[in-house]
Chain A
Amino acid sequence: MSTPTSFLELRDLRIHFPTDDGLVKSVDGLSYKLERGKTLGIVGESGSGKSVTSLGILGLHKGTRAKISGEIWLDGEELVSASAEHVRRLRGKKMAMIFQDPLSAMHPFYTVGQQIVEAYRIHHKVSKKVARKHAIDMLGRVGIPQPERRVDSYPHEFSGGMRQRAMIAMALSCDPELLIADEPTTALDVTVQAQILDLMRDLQRDFNAALIIITHDLGVVAELSDDILVMYGGKCIEYGTAEDIFERPEHPYTWGLLGSMPRLDREPTERLMPIKGNPPSLINVPAGCAFHPRCAFEGRTGGKADTEVPALLESSGGHLVRCHMPPELRRDIWENEIKPNLESS
């Protein structure tokens, strides 16, 4: 296969974990592209495979029992077949990750400064003094007050918001070209979350990095993303621009997510419209369309829902949907049955 032109491209990525109970297909045939300076939001419930994908890009499944197939192209290099040592060298400089829980992602035994310095000196041949100066600069940039003093603090001495800022400083210390943020604000309070989202937006503009933001919070995704990928049961079920997903979504699962969420910008409607049932087990993914047992429109798929896996097909310019219903029917349902309910009263 040819070398892609996109900065990041995943082709049919599969990450399976053999367990005693059976094969867990966490990621099952995922493909997407991302350019520099753009933000991709990945949305899905727990167990949809969103975090496993990003760990796969960073090469953090290498050396585990995970079975990975497919291709991950980053700036013209294929990473699935690359050696663990090679990917390790890319990590930090070429790509970096912001983890959900900064308290467990940082080493409690070293000061924040030491941890940033270590990463920086692996990729840059500089003295400790220069690296320390850089660490202070980075802490200042992410808005930590008195960085020259705070650089010698331990992670537990920081508050939750400050710790997340320190994580971001660490991730950005080597100017990564790809930044993956896995639930970066889930552990934070709303006022601090707003500060962190502003910060990420500004930093991305300054560094022109490609940003992947993984979250279950549709509000956060809507604030930051250019494109959005909705995952369900290890597969992409809808992909499009932020406008596609929020203004004209076509997959029943996306409709369900939008209907489940109480929103501040709408009148509190009488009822939320939840999705029935529970997310699927990744060992026994339902046959056919993985979503069909929970789908309110299963009856309109022409009886294929439980036998055939629907293909991810283009509905209109770049908007991909994995659903058995024909595009005209989906648009009709959205306009006449879903959208009026979301906007009622």
Chain B
Amino acid sequence: MSERGQRSEPLLSVQGLEKHFPVTKGLFQRQVGAVRAVDGVSFDVFKGETIGLVGESGCGKTTTGRLITRLIEPTGGKVVFEGNDITHMSQSKIRPLRRDMQLIFQDPYSSLNPRHTVGAIVGAPFRIQGVKTEHGIKKEVQDILALVGLNPEHYNRYPHEFSGGQRQRIGIARTLALKPKLIIADEPVSALDVSIQAQVVNLLEDLQNELDLTYVVIAHDLSVVRHISDRVAVMYLGKIVELADRKDLYDAPMHPYTNALLSAVPIPDVKHRGDRERIRLQGDVPSPLNPPPACRFHTRCWKAQVICKTEEPPLVELAPGHQVACHFPENADTISAPAAAKIAQNVQDAQHPKSTIA
């Protein structure tokens, strides 16, 4: 799949995106702090590729998805879609663009209106956007239902008559109605049973091939993300800590957090039970209300030195197409020479004064 991602103009470009939710107190709603849910996220999405956003709860991946689609207003940064800066576009101007950018939601139970028929749900985008179809909306909707593997005769049924997997297909059908270019899928399969998950994952892949779609897939399941993504971005506390091609990221992760995440995934292999090398992180993810200074991962990192507490590591390209934000990246043999020199310098700085953080 990765060959299709042409490195020309990106379809979507996210630059230094920020969202701080204010925390208020008292009668006058005085602002006493901010939850820095997304704190300077930048990445490009190229036509035809799938980019995966992974991270633990509270890392800002869902907020990022909502910011891209302008469901919430960013505090700072830019979202550029097909060359248009849509960050502060008015609702009336952005509406036509919504045709090209659609969301698949996580929960197939709460994201469908129980009082509307499937036909009304999937046909709604046509009515809202005022799109005229050649053979009428009904015919168009039935074609889409068939495309996602539902029976077109179920046009007049209600969501409660369907199972979870079928409902997720209805959600996908609605997303596809206006033939969007970019689809943001927020945990598209996590609410589904294992056997149904695979059906939906395959469906998303088929649709991408047929309709030339571009996906941003937001998920916490590292195995699912690896299966469907061309490139993967790992987020931690509102920042991207590593962004690379799927293969590079999973085979040779450079950020200690990515490494820890991957080694924590239980693998159904009883033969090698126990002889896998594991990294066990201590404690939980710190609160985004009061994130640790400098490198946000230093409180849980086993490699942390003084520099990690005082200086924030920038997200830099250490190998072709492989960006990492870490002072002491792993798998250093794949790093280019200038980057290696910079890291060596960092290590040296860190050794004076020589002390480690417990």
Interface residues of A, Cβ cutoff 8 Å to B:
45-46, 145, 159-162, 189-195, 197-198, 216-223, 242-243, 246-247, 256-265, 268, 271-276, 278-279
Which residues from chain B contact A264 at a C-beta distance below 8 Å? Answer: 222-223, 226, 250, 262, 265, 267
Q: A189-B220, A190-B56 are in contact. Are A219 and B266 (CB under 8 A)?
A: yes
Q: Counting CB contacts under 8 A, is B333 at the interface?
A: no
User: How far, in angstroms, from A61 to B163 measured CA to CA in the complex?
Assistant: 27
* Shortest distance from the beta carbon of A173 to any chain B beta carbon, whole Å: 23
**Nearest 10 A/B pairs, CB to CB:** A219-B266, A274-B198, A260-B198, A262-B227, A189-B56, A194-B264, A275-B195, A272-B198, A222-B268, A45-B193
Type the 1/0 row for B234-271, where 1 means its CB is closer than 8 Å to any CB of A: 00000000000010001000000000111111111111
User: How far, in angstroms, from A189 to B235 measured CA to CA in the complex?
Assistant: 13
- Residue pair B194, A216 in contact (C-beta under 8 Å): yes
Give 20 A-B contacts (CB < 8 Å), ordered by A residue.
A159-B284, A160-B57, A161-B284, A162-B284, A189-B56, A190-B220, A191-B281, A192-B56, A194-B263, A195-B282, A216-B193, A222-B266, A260-B195, A265-B267, A268-B226, A272-B198, A272-B202, A274-B199, A274-B201, A279-B193
Q: A162-B284, A192-B284, A268-B226 are in contact. Are A262 and B165 (CB under 8 A)?
A: no
- Residue pair A278, B266 in contact (C-beta under 8 Å): no
Which residues from chain A contact B271 at a C-beta distance below 8 Å? Answer: 243, 246-247
Which residues from chain A contact B202 at a C-beta distance below 8 Å? Answer: 271-272, 274
- Residue pair B268, A246 in contact (C-beta under 8 Å): yes
Which residues from chain A contact B264 at a C-beta distance below 8 Å? Answer: 190-191, 193-194
Q: A45-B193, A189-B285 are in contact. Are A219 and B268 (CB under 8 A)?
A: yes
- Residue pair B193, A220 in contact (C-beta under 8 Å): no
- Residue pair A190, B261 in contact (C-beta under 8 Å): yes
Q: Counting CB contacts under 8 A, is B197 at the interface?
A: yes
Which residues from chain B contact A223 at a C-beta distance below 8 Å? Answer: 266-267, 273
Among A46, A189, A247, chain B packs the most CB atoms within 10 A around the CB of A189
Q: How many residues of B contact A (CB 8 A)?
A: 43
- Residue pair A189, B57 in contact (C-beta under 8 Å): yes
Choice from B57, B226, B270, B280 contacting A262 with Cβ under 8 Å = B226
User: How far, in angstroms, from A220 to B223 measured CA to CA in the complex?
Assistant: 14
Choice from A217, A257, A265 contacting B269 with Cβ under 8 Å = A265
- Residue pair B261, A46 in contact (C-beta under 8 Å): no
User: How far, in angstroms, from A52 to B124 measured CA to CA in the complex?
Assistant: 40
Among B193, B227, B266, chain A packs the most CB atoms within 10 A around the CB of B266
Choice from A190, A198, A256, A262 contacting B195 with Cβ under 8 Å = A256
- Residue pair B223, A262 in contact (C-beta under 8 Å): yes
User: How far, in angstroms, from A160 to B262 measured CA to CA in the complex?
Assistant: 20
- Residue pair B195, A274 in contact (C-beta under 8 Å): yes
* Shortest distance from the beta carbon of A180 to any chain B beta carbon, whole Å: 19
Of all chain B residues, the one with the shortest Cβ separation from A256 is B195
Choice from A198, A262, A274 contacting B196 with Cβ under 8 Å = A274
Among B165, B201, B260, B284, chain A packs the most CB atoms within 10 A around the CB of B284
Type the 1/0 row for B193-226, where 1 means its CB is closer than 8 Å to any CB of A: 1111111011001000000000000001011101
- Residue pair A220, B266 in contact (C-beta under 8 Å): yes
Q: Counting CB contacts under 8 A, is B42 at the interface?
A: no
Q: Given A197-B266, A262-B226, A268-B246, 18 other A-B contacts at CB below 8 A?
A: A46-B193, A159-B284, A189-B285, A190-B222, A190-B264, A191-B56, A191-B264, A193-B264, A198-B280, A222-B268, A223-B273, A247-B271, A256-B195, A265-B267, A271-B202, A274-B198, A274-B199, A278-B163
Which residues from chain B contact A161 at a C-beta distance below 8 Å? Answer: 284
Of all chain B residues, the one with the shortest Cβ separation from A45 is B193
Among B205, B223, B270, B281, chain A packs the most CB atoms within 10 A around the CB of B270
* Chain B residues numbered 178-200 whose CB sits less than 8 Å from any CB in chain A: 193-199
- Residue pair A218, B196 in contact (C-beta under 8 Å): no
Of all chain B residues, the one with the shortest Cβ separation from A194 is B264
- Residue pair A45, B220 in contact (C-beta under 8 Å): no
Q: Counting CB contacts under 8 A, is B166 at the interface?
A: yes
Of all chain A residues, the one with the shortest Cβ separation from B193 is A45
Which residues from chain B contact A279 at a C-beta distance below 8 Å? Answer: 163, 193, 195
Choice from A46, A263, A273, A278 contacting B166 with Cβ under 8 Å = A278
